Structure 1
Amino acid sequence: MSNLLWKALVVSPAVLGATLLVSTTAIAAPNATTEVSTVVPTVENPAVTEVAQTPEILAQATPTANDTKVLDQVNRYSNEGNQNTSISQVTSVSQFSDVQPTDWAFQALQSLVERYGCIAGYPNGTYRGNRALTRYEFAAGLNACLDRVNELIATATADLVTKQDLATLQRLQEEFSAELATLRGRVDSLEARTAELEANQFSTTTKLVGEAVFAVTDAFGDNTGDANNTVFQDRVRLGLQTSFTGRDVLTTRLSAGNATPFDIRDAANGTIPSSEGFQTFQVDSTGNNSVEIDKLTYEAPIGPAQVYLAAAGGRHSHYAAVNNPYFFDKTDGGNGALSSFSSENPIYRIGGGAGLALNIPFGQGGGILRPSSITVGYLASEANDPGISTGLFNGDYAALGQLNFSVGDRVALAATYVHGYNGAGSALFGSGLGLTSVDEGTGVATPLGVVGTAQANVLDAPASSNSYGLSAAFRFSEKISLSGFVSYHDVTQSGVGNDFEAWSYGAGVALADIGKQGNVLGVFAGAVPYALNRPGFGGGDVPYQIEGFYKYRVSDNVSITPGVIYLTSPGQSSDNDDAIIGTLRTTFTF
């Protein structure tokens, strides 16, 4: 490259002006470290953005400082020419809003602009002299100077370039020759590294992500405390995220775990078959570390809408706006609240499995009310079974409709309706998992939900349900968020005269960056799903749950979360002893 430029300089000193422009611009650029985009971008939920919610970001290993610089350079180098860097000609250096007479290169820039006319700026009137130069911009600047040289020769005005200009440019070129050589070597090194990455990468379309949860936990409180011991539980997830267009994502996730919930006891020291105190890492756990595919979904945009297609492990909270920032971690991950109740409105736990969902934006959103969206979805938990009373439409299912609104930049609202059908022996809030609790004495299996009491979950006959929910999140500031929900459920069972109504509500406050950036202090309290005075079940007291946790961010990929879950009136009876669950959870993401 240097030989080519030197030959051009012999033709006209104006070419040296282009060389000065390229050199000084490239050298003045700061070594800013930016986040490298992943091979497969996460498909964003097009529903109304949840306020201040920590986005679920694809996990990746923490690079060193040097590696970060190298990856940053690879990223910028591989994307040369893809950015909108169109330039426009200027006739005076004063047209650049970011160039001041005090700048060290002001006179040189003024000369190149006003004497030779071969310097261009950006459409917004800036020059960006401290930014790195791309090859496309270099080509544009060099071409402009060459055109000016031809013009000068044609009009016999080449004497505008003085010997003093030539001497100055030569001196500057010699002064920065070492830096130019270093830059050329770094570019060559980046090209070699890029070629090696392309030759040895796992896949051009797929990224491997993972999460491992280690949890030391115990339960306390008279009979409940006597019936349980301290345990060390785990859950591991490995996901393959594949993109075919850059805007879609196919998720194939493997999961294994050995976590089981605690045995909550009543006053008579009998087992209470409920989901009270269920922790998120205990959901979807096989209990024996056997591996299974717990999620197989595909998400892609179709026009303005976002499509969600689940073949296995589908959840309403995958595609619907939950509006519970900091407490909710998508698909019961290990970086939100400890308990399933604090994570999201129980209405999203009705149904699950395979199905289809759409997020459709609408409205112009003038003034304080922002553009809104409507979410519709259908999930069936027995979609793979071709039996008479199963399948995609004849088995257990749940159809969801939700309106999402944003008010300004600080408030998010959602109104949700779910119509569901469940066969006998299932749980209302079971997420289509088919969990059960087996009594040690009688061996009787009771349907177990992901959240709530047995009175609100157990369906001992085929039943249809209509559920209504509201959720909201308000961001006081960048570091304080308030969120809450309420849900009502009307359940009609066939032929047993055991219809019932269930309620649930809760609210929480989260404080971000407490003690360190990325830390979260959260407190959430409310009533877990309950059904008072249900015939044949008893229990006339409201069961409350209070949870407090502090997530300490050790690094970008490791967090430690100690917390306490306090349960009152387990089994909907104040005669039963309150229970306390203490947990120390460590989450690794990669």
Structure 2
Amino acid sequence: MTKQFWNLIKISPVVVAATFFAANSALAAEVNEQVTNVAQLETQDSNNIGQVTSVSQFSDVQPTDWAFQALQSLVERYGCIAGYPNSTYRGNRALTRYEFAAGLNACLDRVNELIATATADLVSKQDLATLQRLQEEYSAELATLRGRVDGLEARTSELEANQFSTTTKLVGEAIFNISDAFGGDRAVPAGNPNTKLNSNTTFSDRVRLNLYSSFTGKDRLQIRLQAGNILSNTGAGTTGTGTNMTRLGYDVGAPNDNSVIIDKINYAFNFSDALRIKVDVSNGELYENVEVFNPDFRSSGTGALSRYGRFSPIYRQGQNGAGLTVTFNPNEAISVTGAYLAQSSSVTNAGVTTNFGANNPNNNNGLFNGDSTIFGQLSFKPNKAFNIGLTYARTYLAGNSTNNLFQSTGSAFANNPFTSTNASNTRIESDNYGVEATFQLSSKLALSGWGGYTTASTLTGAARDAEIWYYGATLALRDFGKEGNVLGIIFGQPPQVTGGNVKTGSTLDSGTSYHLEGLYKYKVSDNIQVTPGLLVIFNPENNNNNDTEYVGTLRTTFTF
């Protein structure tokens, strides 16, 4: 600053202290008001200011501070000081010339107010002279500041006139994927394979557009549109890998011809500060409603490349369902979640697809008679370093379509161990138990894992039962090579039938499959991520006779 400015400081430290404070308030208040008009769904409490009547109200101002007397005079004599909501003054905050000018102007307005209300005796002649000289010194900055505010008001008006919606935000994601599966022979559930795996490089996509609407500021309506053509690499007939263990975490199922569909509708709101309720109308998924304890790899677009590597299969229960999820958070360390989902499933006969979800009034369908899951989870988060969850799900499969205990995650036998008992109409119930945990060893290193146990039994036909085990672990090295990048390693055992009376003349799985995945999430920018990786499945379909299979993938994700 100029020499003249420093001379002014010597003349009146009271005035200088006033301008230092007011710069924190006047400029921030005026500009933040404009910003809030643009982003109406956001609050900026940290920048709100309020008048104080005593310097003792500032928790960070002590009587030993060099500006204490100046602040005390300004507060109690002129009423020229305001504070932040957390009772701080923030006297060490950096100050620009523009802010100083804004603060000076605010203090002048206060002095003029005092004079106008016949309290001029509170203002000394020396202070008035000093303020006048400061006003002249910073007249150019004040004029510039007014111009900037006027310009901001014009831009704000333009944004408000052309905004998409006052209540709705559009969030999009697009995935470009190149992948190829290769190995020896195509996997078979039992016996010896005899068909060469058909290796073929594919280039495909998935696009999602989410419409998020809020009507109270504490609720959210989600409507998601999806289109894509990423096929499951398991193949049909004699093509593909022959096993769901090689599936990618973001294949689209049906339709897969880039037709646009509305595939998800739900509404969530706070019943109280501690109680959150979510109503799923279409395509509800437990893993989107609760904590899955695998933060670096849970997302289909930016997480693990494989289906199994995203989270424990227990969260696949009730997939594509409709129902209610209630989460209670009495404090930051404990969370309790309960859910009921009526699972949607379908079967195609003679080219006609029939839905067996909550919207179907036919016999053995609907919200309570068809496939359904009752779910509960208790989460403990004592600190950032260690989180653990205990999970239970009870699932009923009404036998309207081919039964699928883990929604095609793992081997075909584990998903339906009762295939010879009349697969298409045998009613099944299962009890699923899981434990999940995350260890944040440092800000750069995280370990996550899960283990699960399932018991399943038939309710119709021959009395059968099965015991199924699975586990998984993930390692995330954050900021590896560059800030925002993540190097990941995932290892585990997909669901395997280990005991029970499964079917006549059948033996249990002849081997154990192992899942190994390596990937590197490279952050090109805040909106682009490139993820190369390799998936290796040892003994696919829990059959030791099968050859090891590999899936190489390059996924590019755009978010906007």
TM-score (norm 2): 0.79
1:249 shift after superposition = 0.7
Please give the secondary structure, in 2, of the residue aligned with 1:281.
Answer: coil
In structure 2, distance between residues paired with 1:215 and 1:94: 56
8 Å Cα contact 2:58/2:89 also seen in 1: no
Which of 376, 389, 401 is the matching residue for 1:401? 376
Query: 2:228 matched to 1:257?
Result: yes
Query: How many angstroms apart in 2 are the aligned matches of 1:184 and 1:220?
Result: 66
Number of residue equivalences = 504
Once the two structures are overlaid, the 10-residue window that deviates more, 343-352 or 90-99, is 90-99
1:267-306 matches, within 5 Å, as 273-284=242-253, 286-303=255-272, 304-306=274-276
CA distance in 1, matches of 2:492, 2:371: 28
2:439 paired with 1:481: no
Deviation at 1:488, TM superposition (A): 0.9
Q: Is the 8 A contact 1:210 1:239 kept in 2?
A: yes
Deviation at 1:421, TM superposition (A): 1.2
> In structure 2, what is the equivalent of residue 457 of structure 1?
415
Amino acid aligned to 1:376: A
Q: How far apart, in 2, do the equivalents of 1:74 and 1:213 lie? A: 30
In the alignment, the residues of structure 2 paired with residue 313 and residue 95 of structure 1 have an alpha-carbon distance, to the nearest angstrom, of: 51
Q: Counterpart of 2:549?
A: 579
Number of the residue aligned with 1:316: 286
Give the letter for the 1:256 counterpart: A
Q: How does 1:194-273 map to 2 (within 5 A)?
A: 194-224=156-186, 226-263=197-234, 273=242
Q: Given the alignment of the two structures, is residue 503 of structure 1 paired with residue 469 of structure 2, yes or no?
A: yes
**1:334 corresponds to 2:301:** yes
SS of the residue corresponding to residue 185 of structure 2 reads: helix
Aligned-partner Cα distance in 1 for 2:212–2:111: 45
Cα deviation digits, residues 15-43 of structure 1 (max 9, x gap): x99997775556679999xxx99xxxxxx
Q: Answer yes or no: is 1:90 the counterpart of 2:54.
A: yes
* 3-state SS in 1 of match to 2:373: strand
Alpha-carbon displacement from aligned partner over 1:317-346 (angstroms, at most 9, x marks no partner): 1212111110111xxx31001011110110
Q: Please give the per-residue CA displacement for 1:54-87, whole angstroms capped at 9, x wherever unaligned.
A: xxxxxxxxxxxxxxxx9699669x9789965333
Distance 1:147 1:374, change over 3 A: same
Which of 127, 146, 159 is residue 184 of structure 1 equivalent to? 146
Q: CA deviation at 1:540?
A: 1.5
Name 1:472's counterpart in structure 2.
437
2:255 is aligned with what amino acid? Answer: T
How far residue 453 of structure 1 moved from its aligned partner, in angstroms, is 0.2
Displacement of 1:565 in angstroms is 0.5
Larger mean CA deviation between 538-547 and 181-190 belongs to 538-547
Q: Distance in 2 between matches of 1:568 and 1:23?
A: 71
Partner Cα separation in structure 1 for residue 438 and residue 60 of structure 2: 44
Match of 1:357 in 2: 325
1:343 paired with 2:316, answer no
1:512 aligns to 2:512 (yes or no): no
**Residues 1:426 and 2:395 are matched in the alignment:** no
- Return closer, same or farther for 1:283/1:496 CA change in 2, 3 Å cut-off: farther
Change (3 A) 1:286 1:144: farther
Using the alignment, how far apart are the partners of 2:143 and 2:199 within structure 1? Answer: 69
For residues 515 and 358 of structure 1, do their structure 2 counterparts lie closer, same or farther at Cα, with a shift above 3 Å needed? same
What do you get for the CA RMSD once the two structures are aligned? Answer: 3.9
Moved more, 467-476 or 136-145: 136-145
Is this contact kept in 2: 1:487–1:505, CA < 8 A? yes
Residues 523 and 549, structure 1, Cα contact 8 Å, conserved in 2: yes
Quote the offset at 1:95 in angstroms: 8.4
Instruction: Classify 1:165/1:414 alpha carbon distance in 2 versus 1 (closer, same or farther; 3 Å).
Output: same
Alignment of 1:152-167 (within 5 A): 152-153=119-120, 157=121, 161-162=124-125, 164-167=126-129
CA separation of 1:125 and 1:506: change in aligned 2, threshold 3 A: closer
Contact 1:81/1:134 (8 A) holds in 2 = no
2:87 maps to 1:124: yes
Secondary structure at the residue paired with 2:264? strand
How far apart are residue 279 of structure 1 and its match? Answer: 0.8
Alpha carbons 1:506, 1:524 under 8 Å: kept: yes
Distance in 1 of aligned mates of 2:336 and 2:529: 34
Q: Which runs of 5+ in 1 are unaligned?
A: 1-15, 38-69, 432-448
Worse-matched range after superposition: 477-486 or 421-430: 421-430
Q: Which of 479, 489, 503 lines up with 1:523 in the alignment?
A: 489
What amino acid maps onto 1:252 in structure 2? I
Q: CA deviation at 1:543?
A: 0.8
User: Would you say the 8 A contact 1:81–1:136 is kept in 2?
Assistant: no
Distance between the aligned counterparts of 1:318 and 1:555, measured in 2? Answer: 25
Query: Structure 2: which 5+ runs fail to align?
Result: 1-11, 187-195, 345-356
Rounded Cα–Cα distance in structure 2 between residues aligned with 1:82 and 1:522: 37
**In 2, distance between residues paired with 1:567 and 1:28?**
60
Q: Is the partner of 2:206 in helix, strand or coil?
A: strand
In 2, the alpha carbon distance for the partners of 1:179 and 1:135 equals 8
Distance 1:502 1:91, change over 3 A: closer
Contact 2:380 2:387 in 1 (8 A): yes
Q: Distance in 2 between matches of 1:31 and 1:323?
A: 43
Which residue in the other structure is 1:373 paired with? 336
- Cα distance in structure 1, aligned partners of 2:56 and 2:372: 69
The whole-number CA distance in structure 2 between the counterparts of 1:482 and 1:23 is: 51
- Structure 2: distance between partners of 1:358 and 1:263: 36
- Using the aligned pairs only, state the percent identity: 39
User: Is contact 1:481–1:510 with CA below 8 Å preserved after alignment?
Assistant: yes
Distance 2:164 2:464 in 1: 56
CA distance in 1, matches of 2:66, 2:203: 65
Shift of 1:429: 4.1
Distance verdict in 2 for CA 1:80–1:506, change over 3 Å: closer
The equivalent of 1:548 in structure 2 is 518
Alpha-carbon distance between aligned partners in 2 of 1:299 and 1:91, rounded to the nearest angstrom: 44
Q: Distance in 2 between matches of 1:261 and 1:291?
A: 18
CA distance in 2: counterparts of 1:248 and 1:344, whole angstroms: 27
- Structure 2: which amino acid aligns with 1:89? T
Give the structure 2 partner of residue 174 of structure 1: 136
Counterpart of 1:248, as a letter, is: D
Structure 2 CA distance for aligned equivalents of residues 223 and 311 of structure 1: 42
The CA distance in 1 between the partners of 2:13 and 2:119, in whole Å, is 14
Q: Which range is displaced more, 285-294 or 94-103?
A: 94-103
Which of residues 361, 382, 386 in structure 2 aligns to 1:411? 386
C-alpha distance 21-73 of structure 1, shift in aligned 2 (>3 A): farther
Distance 2:323 2:202 in 1: 36
Question: Which residue is equivalent to 1:48?
Answer: none
Change (3 A) 1:171 1:506: same
| Distance of 1:457 and 1:25 partners within structure 2 | 67
Contact 1:18 1:142 in 2 (8 A): no
Larger mean Cα displacement after TM superposition, 142-151 or 499-508: 142-151
The whole-number CA distance in structure 2 between the counterparts of 1:145 and 1:139 is 10
2:350 maps to: none
Structure-1 residue corresponding to 2:364 = 389
